[in-house]
Amino acid sequence: MPIPQNPYIAGNPVGGETAFIGRADALREVDRVLQNPNANAIVLYGQRRIGKTFIVTVHPHPPQSPR
């Protein structure tokens, strides 16, 4: 009997600025939550291979202070 392929291993994260189109709204929402002193967590969820990891990697760490 063949061993079924693991559906959760999809390869390297989606990357590159050209592959990340139309997600400015998601980045703004991450900024909004992280700038809120009362917020202590954010959850990124969605289909595989849509850029969840990329949002985290392109976001500045630590978040910039509001000016």
pLDDT digits (tens, 9 = 90+) for 18-45: 666 777 888 888 888 888 888 878 888 8
Cis peptide before 62 (omega within 30 of 0): yes
Report whether pLDDT(67) > 60: no
| Long-range contacts of residues 15-23, Cβ cutoff 8 Å, at least 24 apart | 15/54, 15/57, 19/51, 19/54, 20/51, 20/54, 20/58, 23/51, 23/55
Q: Specify if 34 maps to a domain.
A: yes
Q: Residue 11 domain-assigned?
A: no
The answer as to whether 33 is a domain residue is yes
**Is 23 inside a domain boundary?**
yes
pLDDT (tens digit per residue) in 57-66: 877 765 555 5
pTM for this entry: 0.58
In a domain, 12, yes or no: no
Q: Identify the domain containing residue 54 by its residue range.
A: 17-58
Contact 14, 50 (CB under 8 A): yes
Domain total in the chain: 1
Name the nearest CA neighbour of 35 among 59, 52, 17.
Answer: 59
Q: DSSP label at 59?
A: S
